[in-house]
Amino acid sequence: MGAVQAGQAVPLTTIVNDLKGRAAGEMIDAQLVTAGNFLLYAVKVLSADGRVATKYYYARTGRPVEVK
């Protein structure tokens, strides 16, 4: 919550709403992590078929990290 209050991260609800919009599944865990100079949300998502995947979002903007 400190990162949100300090303006370094969007509220987790922003990420949850994006996941719902993408029909990615149900969030089962989320953590703020540091990767290099970036603060990220690492979000574990349970899909409809029972698989668990980790999705990453930039904490400052709430945008998903695109993996190429």
pLDDT at 1: 56
> For residue 65, is it within any domain?
no
> For residue 48, is it within any domain?
yes
**13 vs 67: CA distance, rounded Å:** 22
> For residue 37, is it within any domain?
yes
List, edge to edge, every strand of the sheet that includes 26-35: 26-35, 38-46, 52-58
pLDDT at 40: 96
- Averaged pLDDT, groups of 10, the chain, 68 residues long: 80 89 85 94 93 94 88
pLDDT at 53: 92
> For residue 33, is it within any domain?
yes
pLDDT at 12: 92
Report the domain count for the chain. 1
Task: Print the domain residue range for 37.
Answer: 2-58
> For residue 43, is it within any domain?
yes
> For residue 67, is it within any domain?
no
CATH of the domain at 32: 3.10.450
Element (H, E) at 46: strand 38-46
> For residue 44, is it within any domain?
yes
pLDDT at 59: 96
Report whether 44 contacts 54 (CB < 8 A).
Answer: yes
Report whether 30 contacts 37 (CB < 8 A).
Answer: no
Give the angle 44-8-36 at the CA atoms, nearest 5°.
65
